[in-house]
Amino acid sequence: MRSLKLIVFFILALPYFGQAQSRISYFSATSLSDSVRLNVQISAGLGCAGFQVLHGSDSVNLQQIWAYPGLCGNTSYPESYKYTDYTPNKTSANYYRILIPPGDYSKILKVDLAANFSNLVVFPQPANDVLNIAISNKANYYYEMTIYDRFGRKKGFASGNAMDKITLNVSAFSEGVYVFYIFDGNGNSFRGKFLKNANN
């Protein structure tokens, strides 16, 4: 009877003893205006046959967008790698994960190219010719602003120094909804949207 209990114990415990520690010791994702920079560190150990960068618009359906084409890792010290996604989602969140085949996965990271701010005032809505954007309690700052249509296509860029608000001429834009991203000189990011009226 005792032997049977020992056998049952080892069968139940085997999955836990068999789990190896992940080789992915560090993984980060940083928004860089129109792109996302990924930093990966693989701990010292036997080399692995490359790793994959997985990406998706949700945390479940992730697809490979890049594969490191070589032997990764080092037997003596950790190895660091970088990858830049130049085509992330502009109007929705991005999810990233690293995979060392066959089954060594990193944590999943979510990256939105800019955070939503409730104190962002956009007027008039809808806009005809001129669009104004004001950030509460913020004045006299340098900005860079990129505008995308609802399909994520880049439609405009502006930069300059704002006093109390940013003023743009949007008369050439077609009718529709647009998303914009603002980055100031201090590394802060803002996201908003506006509706453009049909041209007369």
What's the confidence (pLDDT) of residue 162? 92
CATH 3.50.50.60 applies to domain 20-111: no
So what's the pLDDT on residue 10? 43
Cis peptide bond prior to 124, omega within 30° of 0: yes
- Give the residue range(s) of CATH 2.60.40.1220 domains in the chain: 120-196
Helix intervals (H) in the chain: 2-17
Per-residue pLDDT reduced to its tens digit, 102-160: 999 999 999 876 555 557 889 998 999 999 999 888 889 999 999 998 888 889 999 99
**What confidence tens digit (pLDDT) does each residue in 157-173 have?**
999 999 999 999 999 99
* pLDDT of residue 32 exceeding 80: no
Mean pLDDT of the chain: 85
Contact predicate 158/168, CB 8 Å? yes
CA angle in degrees (0–180, nearest 5) for 67-71-75: 135
Q: Where in the chain is the domain with CATH 2.60.40.2060?
A: 20-111
Name the CATH topology of 120-196: Immunoglobulin-like (2.60.40)
